[in-house]
């Protein structure tokens, strides 16, 4: 008789998920599933709102990565009014985006993934957490907190507050940068680069000591997608979308506005999270990954010197071919953090960043707008349709974590089959399954949405607990 192991909830991620592992009579894993049960209705309840409200509505999808939604939304509204925003506004938007990358990436590596890499997969769950890290290495833990604080401080100084700002608006931003804010951020960058280099040393040491594990742990071929600059270098705020196949060949490059021509979504009945794929290849041949690993795989270089040196090391892992092992997401995440710190300095040293020209007003001129950024977890797409008054008629959000759904599901099954023994079950085995998900740093409260009508069952009970009515919608 088939037996089932359930991991619920999956820990040290944002949002709610569970894993079911199905065993045969010999205790071996037959199959495993990654379930996302929560549903967010932002697309539906945004209908009827004015498009200009969307940057402050959609950022409330999440408290961890609100800046990503804030900026993707603002870019979509720019298209609706048909304006090219002032360069200073673009620089300031990108600056808070770098703050978002710094705070999110550093938090994930040190506080969410770090307990596995630093304390060990099989460490006692009572200490395999951020408290355990503090006990093990209080100096490192303090530096990790300071890194996240620095990223949040960038957002606060530029946008007015750390979470859910009102800074980006259709046509630009609503305030300029002060000299004191510029100087404060600049003064801390070198120290933060030093801290993140310590993280890179931890990651590189782990890889060196566990090379076989890193190469095999949830390692599988997929396509890859992300933004790049015109010269093919890493891009997180703007640029064109590049699709790469599993062998490293570029399949297509296109403007983000044309994403619907190339991205389809498949629905499975065991999760609310959909499965995007590259349309020309179909499903499942067209599945792909996004996020730090994918972005470094598709990029030709990084435009800042320190990050580019680490990028060269990353590219050497598989001799220039795409790096497939999921654990390498952690290493890629740290390299991007170096880039974000260096890029923040470049922006702040640009004389135009202090200009007062931060907003270009406009009226509704286009019936739809698409905004795309590279959120910490991957490519984030906001697409709005409006009427002539600017009232939202339809919204489509494809959130970073959603792109990685197939990969997370595959990672769960691979790791479960490799490590879980139903007749000699140990907690560390199940933690490795969770760790496969943590490689992708999923933000599950961001990522679920519906095609058509959601299936739903409503049960009505009386005061004694008896069912008196049931309403179903398939």
The CB density around residue 121, as the number of other CB atoms within 10 Å, is 17
Q: Where is the binding site, in residues?
A: 43, 62, 65, 397, 443, 446, 449
Q: Tell me which DSSP letter residue 178 carries.
A: P
For residue 168, what is the enclosing H or E element?
strand 168-169
Question: Per DSSP, what are the bridge partners of residue 14?
Answer: 443
Q: Which residue has the tokens 């190339």?
A: 262
Q: How many helices (H) and strands (E) does the chain have?
A: 17, 16
Q: Where is the binding site for Ni(2+), in residues?
A: 65, 443
3-state SS string for 330-358: HHHHHHHHHHHHHHHHHHHCCHHHHCCCC
Q: Where is the binding site for Fe cation, in residues?
A: 65, 446
Query: What is the separation of C-alpha 412 from the centre of its chain, rounded to a whole number of angstroms?
Result: 18
Contact 381, 265 (CB under 8 A): no
Q: Which residue has the tokens 């049931």?
A: 470
**Structure-token pair, residue 131:** 């408290």
Question: Per DSSP, what are the bridge partners of residue 397?
Answer: 382
Q: Where is the binding site for Mg(2+), in residues?
A: 43, 62, 397, 449
Q: Which residue has the tokens 């008054």?
A: 389
């Amino acid at each position: 008789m088939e037996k089932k192991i359930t991991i619920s909830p999956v820990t040290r991620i944002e949002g709610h998920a569970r894993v079911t592992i199905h065993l045969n009579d010999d205790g071996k894993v037959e199959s495993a599933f990654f379930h996302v049960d929560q549903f967010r209705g932002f697309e539906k309840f945004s209908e009827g709102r004015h498009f200009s409200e969307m940057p402050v509505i959609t950022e409330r999808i999440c408290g961890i990565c609100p800046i990503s939604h804030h900026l993707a939304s603002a870019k979509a509204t720019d298209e609706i009014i048909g304006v090219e925003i002032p360069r200073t506004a673009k620089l300031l938007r990108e600056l808070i985006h770098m703050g978002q990358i710094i705070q999110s990436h550093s938090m994930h590596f040190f506080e969410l993934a770090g307990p596995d890499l630093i304390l060990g997969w099989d460490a006692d769950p009572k200490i395999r957490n951020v408290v355990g890290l503090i006990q093990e290495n209080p100096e490192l833990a303090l530096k990790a907190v300071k890194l996240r604080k620095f990223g949040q401080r960038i957002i606060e100084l530029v946008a007015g507050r750390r979470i859910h700002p009102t800074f980006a608006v259709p046509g630009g931003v609503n305030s300029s940068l002060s000299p004191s804010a510029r100087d404060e951020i600049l003064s801390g960058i070198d120290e933060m680069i030093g801290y993140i280099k310590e993280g890179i040393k931890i990651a590189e040491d782990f890889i060196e000591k566990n090379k076989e594990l890193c190469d095999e742990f949830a390692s599988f071929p997929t396509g890859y997608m992300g933004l790049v600059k015109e010269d093919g270098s890493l891009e997180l705020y703007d640029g064109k979308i590049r699709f790469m196949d599993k062998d490293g060949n570029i399949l297509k490059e296109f403007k983000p506005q044309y994403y619907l021509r190339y991205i389809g979504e498949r629905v499975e009945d065991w999760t609310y999270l959909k499965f995007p794929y590259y349309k020309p290849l179909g499903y499942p041949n067209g599945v792909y990954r996004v996020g730090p690993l994918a972005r470094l795989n598709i990029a030709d270089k990084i435009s800042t010197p320190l990050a580019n040196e680490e990028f060269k090391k990353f590219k050497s892992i598989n001799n220039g071919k795409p790096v497939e092992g999921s654990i390498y997401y952690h290493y890629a995440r740290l390299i991007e953090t170096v880039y974000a710190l260096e890029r923040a300095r470049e922006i702040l040293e640009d004389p135009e960043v202090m200009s007062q020209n931060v907003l270009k007003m406009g009226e509704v001129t286009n019936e739809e707008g698409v905004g795309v950024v590279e959120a910490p977890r991957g490519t984030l797409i906001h697409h709005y349709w409006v009427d002539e008054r600017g009232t939202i008629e339809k919204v489509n959000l494809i959130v970073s974590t959603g792109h990685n759904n197939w990969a997370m599901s595959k990672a769960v099954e691979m790791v479960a089959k490799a490590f879980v023994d139903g007749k000699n079950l140990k907690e560390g085995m199940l933690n490795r399954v969770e760790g496969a998900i943590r490689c992708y740093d999923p933000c599950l409260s961001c990522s679920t949405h519906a095609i058509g009508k959601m299936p739903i069952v409503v049960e009505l009970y009386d005061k004694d607990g008896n069912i008196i009515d049931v309403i179903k919608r398939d």
